[in-house]
Amino acid sequence: MASTQPQRFLDYEKWFLRASMMMTGLSVVLLGGSALSVYTVQAMPAEIITFSVFYLFLHIAPMLFGAGRILKFVLVIRPKFHAGNLIRSVGAMVITPVSAGIMYIAFILMAFSSCAA
């Protein structure tokens, strides 16, 4: 049986929140690694710094995706079906910029560790 549009929206909303949480977890791990690198005055490998730059820019996609989901919910789903809420999408929209901020701090610490070593 095919799922309805609001049900699919809610299922994808759960995945969106999980993906944002995993991105935040990886940002915290990279922050811990870069803080450890600064503390031990050892240069962070160039591959990790390059990955962190791409990963920092990767945070733009979930923020735009979340804004699109909120607009789709307000303009399409709520007027037709009157179902669901936006708690998970809004939560993911709040978590993603926090994750980007953590990643930015981690990138700065990685740069400091490369300069100090």
* Predicted TM-score (pTM) above 0.75: yes
Statement: residue 58 has pLDDT above 60:
yes
Percent of the chain with pLDDT over 90: 25
Mean of per-residue pLDDT scores for the chain: 84
Q: Residue 24 has which token pair?
A: 């935040």
Nearest to 81 by CA among 72, 68, 92, 91: 72
The DSSP code for 79 is H
Statement: residue 56 has pLDDT above 70:
yes
- Which pLDDT value is given to residue 106? 92
Band (116; pLDDT cuts 50, 70, 90) = low
- Number of helices followed by number of strands (H, E) in the chain: 5, 0
- Which pLDDT value is given to residue 34? 92
Statement: residue 2 has pLDDT above 70:
no
Half-sphere exposure of residue 52, counting CA atoms within 13 Å on the CB side? 28
Give the whole-angstrom CA distance, residue 115 versus residue 8: 49
Do 36 and 108 form a contact (C-beta atoms < 8 A)?
no
